[in-house]
Structure 1
């Protein structure tokens, strides 16, 4: 691809919380009663938490007994995709080794409609954005340790969804062009629209570079990370998949450009990426940006705009790094 003027502009991390959260009081009484039975105490307070884009409840709850927990819940009737993700996350969380820096699943509720996960409460916060270098280094170290703990994958692939990667080929075919989605892509990135066939070719040859035996988080961004004084925790695991151990760290590094950092020197020194064939990193960036920008360009008026804005920002960040590398 020829070097061109900078059309894939840098930006900032948009609001990192979805716009369709609900309060504890909005959850049906029978459901909250069921959750309280599992908690072993009455909930006397609940505070919705920042980070993530799933619909439904995501709250820290305080208990009459003096303890606390983190609870997230969704209805199959009103948010079927989220409820399905919750059920998958229950299965994954139950199988994560204790050495993985993830909150422990304490219990789960499922009445056929409402699905809820009850996690241990982590007294942490989201990483500062823009990234602070010391916090980024802590997270990158934790991700390295996490990859080692999750290779080979402790979770059967049959319980997992496929990787959320790829989209350029779908955009390049006649249906994508005729639907007008490519026109929307052009508004997001004229550069990508002009190089659509080349991006599709990169994506279609990416499979060998993505193959591996590591259980990957699949959604590793700042809004799915909690920092305590001593530890790093990775939360929200419904999109886990099995692949090459470097994939999560590449997508995380792509996002640091939204903090004004150049991801390339970090990748050149990081233990999971410094010895890779350049094509292995390019494959992740191509398929990652294609997934995010295809979804964003296809989003209708009913879509959560916070989520769409985040997809655009992260997709363009990956695309910018890929373009610079090429």
Structure 2
């Protein structure tokens, strides 16, 4: 059964500053009577289901700059995206947001249910159908004006094309990446890898979730998937979200046949899909070798290594 992919070290709701909890009580319209802290995701802040004295339910996530300097920026990006996309059954609606310059919090619709089991064919199929619908809906959204982020720590929507260009620099450090992360078959043809990665350039973009993984999905009922956590919201090619929705099985031949069954991915082409896996995997692998800068995120680097290894195994299989 699929487990939660990313597990950080979160603060409990009771450790959130009193001023933020007072805002929650006031916004909820009733003092919080019960709460249940959730696991999953990499934010060091809280992620908590709440119930007010009057029975009203909500979900709160809150983080402060003292926990991790970049995390409030991700929360502000999520607020920006949720304001832009409004209300829809495909995602948890934003109820209200808080920002005092140090702490940022979101009060969201509480979606019942846990994470889907993406090892289950029916639940994976539900995700793929939901993702295709998500791409269609987001393609109709007017993209917010403002700055574009070349990395997650900068304000504004993430510029996927800039990220692709940044990822490609990992090819210059291929010899420095540990052998346990890069299959030998990939090391034999660096020129081929560069050609594949170059295919990621100059594609049309639209608003995208950009972080579809089991941690960021809820299953409130059989056949229904709800997308949460928009902190990586990006301007990206329409094929990115359908590819990421399949990433849980990237190490299996199922991934390749599923790509062929997707009109969006089939139109993008096999080489482009493989190029994404190469660039994504090598970038994560290279980043994992750099001096750590993940304050408050002690498990993030091992998560990078795991995801890098999986992406590159998938790429090696596709290259034969």
TM superposition score category, shorter chain reference = 0.7 to 0.9
Is the CA contact (8 Å cut-off) linking 1:217 and 1:237 kept in structure 2?
Answer: yes
Q: Give the aligned partner of residue 199 of structure 1.
A: 193
SS for the counterpart of 2:309 is: helix
Q: Show structure 2 runs of 5+ residues with no match.
A: 147-155
CA distance in 2, matches of 1:143, 1:292: 24
Q: CA deviation at 1:264?
A: 0.7
Q: CA RMSD in A?
A: 2.6
In the superposition, relative to structure 1, how do residues 206 and 261 fare at CA in structure 2: closer, same or farther (>3 Å)? closer
Count of paired positions: 305
CA distance in 2, matches of 1:122, 1:104: 9
Aligned residue runs from structure 1 range 5-20, under 5 A: 16-20=5-9
Q: State whether structure 2 residue 22 is matched by structure 1 residue 46.
A: no
SS for the counterpart of 1:212 is: coil
Farther-moved stretch of structure 1 (41-50 vs 316-325): 316-325
Q: Give the aligned partner of residue 153 of structure 2.
A: none
Farther-moved stretch of structure 1 (67-76 vs 158-167): 158-167
Q: Give the aligned partner of residue 317 of structure 1.
A: 310
Q: Show structure 1 runs of 5+ residues with no match.
A: 1-11
Length-normalised TM-score, structure 1: 0.83
CA distance in 2, matches of 1:299, 1:137: 39
Q: CA deviation at 1:245?
A: 1.1
Q: Give the aligned partner of residue 55 of structure 1.
A: 44
Farther-moved stretch of structure 1 (161-170 vs 313-322): 161-170
Q: Give the aligned partner of residue 170 of structure 1.
A: 169
Is the CA contact (8 Å cut-off) linking 2:284 and 2:307 kept in structure 1?
Answer: yes
Q: State whether structure 2 residue 16 is matched by structure 1 residue 23.
A: no
Aligned residue runs from structure 1 range 1-326, under 5 A: 16-99=5-88, 101-128=90-117, 131-156=119-144, 158=146, 159-163=156-160, 164-165=163-164, 169-173=168-172, 176=173, 182-191=175-184, 192=186, 195-196=189-190, 198-208=192-202, 211-230=203-222, 231-257=224-250, 262-298=254-290, 300=292, 304-326=297-319
Length-normalised TM-score, structure 2: 0.85
CA distance in 1, matches of 2:250, 2:270: 19
In the superposition, relative to structure 1, how do residues 222 and 228 fare at CA in structure 2: closer, same or farther (>3 Å)? same
Is the CA contact (8 Å cut-off) linking 1:14 and 1:310 kept in structure 2?
Answer: no
In the superposition, relative to structure 1, how do residues 197 and 49 fare at CA in structure 2: closer, same or farther (>3 Å)? farther
SS for the counterpart of 1:274 is: helix
Farther-moved stretch of structure 1 (241-250 vs 276-285): 276-285
Farther-moved stretch of structure 1 (276-285 vs 62-71): 276-285
